[in-house]
Structure 1
Amino acid sequence: MAGSSARMLQLLSLLQTHRFWSGGELAERLEVSERTLRRDVDRLRELGYPVDAVRGVAGGYQLQAGASLPPLLLEDDEAVAIAVGLRGAAGGMVEGIAETSVRALGKLVQVMPPRLRRQVDALQSYSVPVSFSGGPSVDASALTTLAMACRDDERLRFDYTPREGETMRRHVEPHRLVTRGRRWYLVAYDLTRHDWRSFRVDRIADPERTGARFRQRELPAPHAGDAASFVQAAIRSIPQQHDVAVLVRASADAVTEVVRRWGDVDPLDDASCRLRMQVDDLGWPLMVLAAVGAPFEVESPPELVEEVRRVGALFGGGMS
């Protein structure tokens, strides 16, 4: 029984990872016969998981949204509360969990019945969050659509407005979503331009899943398997508004741990280093310096010096 229960959990995990699985592929992954697989699928249905089956040579299984929420030990209002919270986290309200929140939100929405989805949309539409990031707003529903298309290897169409130029319809093979500071980027293969591109998600409108599946391509060298480095390289190739240089009284390792790949850290000695970043938004280096929590001296640009003084005055003056 223990082995059967563990196998059913593995089956459920596989069904939530891919939109459609052939019967033979699932049976091979679980190392069981297709007859045993059919029995396991029936057990999942008995538990309330809406698994559709397609018969024939090209047959397989697909997890669908059902009339009621599968047993997750959650009441309906609890599921709605979780989905709303995940949408807020996906928008960057909680630093460091945005990507995880999108993945979790995609799984929850996939099995959530329409009546609960409408409650989530209503709560989101008529709530006003307090924004502290200063970054562009991103629609959580669009993020979920993009994430699920990446997960399911499904082609996308959307309207995109570049930094300079007119809005155009794009047709892409999505690869990964990447966060940088308070911004989201979609790494995808552009089928019109026959090349890899990174798209700022706040500039994407009306993303639509086409239903057409594809086999994932490899990112070009030296970024194979590393979508974040691809985004960083693309950002560095675009002239940024501010070239930041800051002398930080902390070890290079301590600063690198915070800034990661989004800046360059040059060690000066064991207790100091120089941080360099190219940014459009001065709020990003300010967040990095606040997270490091060490004394620093801004070398450039002058605008960052003024921003530090402005923010310092706000905190120094207290709150009323």
Structure 2
Amino acid sequence: MASTSSRALTLLSLLSAGGVIGAADLADRLEVSERTVRRDVDTLRELGYRIEPVKGSGGGYRLGADTRLPPLLFDEEQVVAIAVALQTAPAVLAGIGESAARALQTVRRVMPERLRGESDAFTVTTLANYWEFPAPPISADLVRDVGAAVRRRHVLRAEYRDDDGSPVRVRVEPHRLVVWAARWYLVAFDLESARWRVLRLDRLTAKSPTWVPFDERPLPTSDVGEFVQRAFDRGDMLAPWPCQGSVVLDVPPATAAMFAPGGAVVEFVSDRSCLLRMGAWSWTGLAGLYLTFAADMRQVEPAELRQAFAGIVRRLDEPSPPPG
């Protein structure tokens, strides 16, 4: 069992994350009894930390709003999280590489020697996935401006580039920023069309703040991530694969949007079918991607893709003899 002082610091670290944590949960994380947790809470109070009891079914302990914490109080897992987050952030946010590096150095300097070793063990190099073409890092200023509107619950005015590149003025209630496969999306309620939309953040240019508040609206689904994944009109662009094709599939647009690889584009045909444009490193590979949907297809373009499908059928009908 850890010493009282070490355990008390760990307890303070858990409470510093915010919110109410139950005594049973704290006891489980510290691997002690609830009685020991109460004693450790008393120890922290004697040291001047304001720890409030919260009664009721969701009760437990929480830090008082005016509690002053030590400059840094991290455990090993938090150190790993900070080191990885600060090193990978420039892969999705442009213009913060130097700031992230300086932040990591600042955190590292005030860490105890033991935790500094944990941090140094996680040196990360971010590479593009050979299977995906993620969007380039997005402007940190844009994320900050849109994020401020989301946080304050203020109406956002912006210009949004349509598929043909034409700017269109939009006025939305911004609900949530979502990052999926290094692509940034804004889930928002469009005040002009009176509908929920998913907007690609790299297509959006925020205007000056409106300072106009709005009330919360219930999302069409409780899972905001799934809402983004199933939005076929979320503004994705065809990835620059060497082989690109299009097929009309008898698959609902939302289903195709959710399961197509990154860099695919889904266009609405009907509630039960869609035009799916995708790319791959070879025509046969592209044909294989379409076959994974196990659906009827038509309007297969271009001719190279049709030939690839024919080649697959020929190989299945006339398998090559085994070697030797």
Normalising by structure 2, report the TM-score: 0.43
Normalising by structure 1, report the TM-score: 0.43
* Larger Rg belongs to: 2
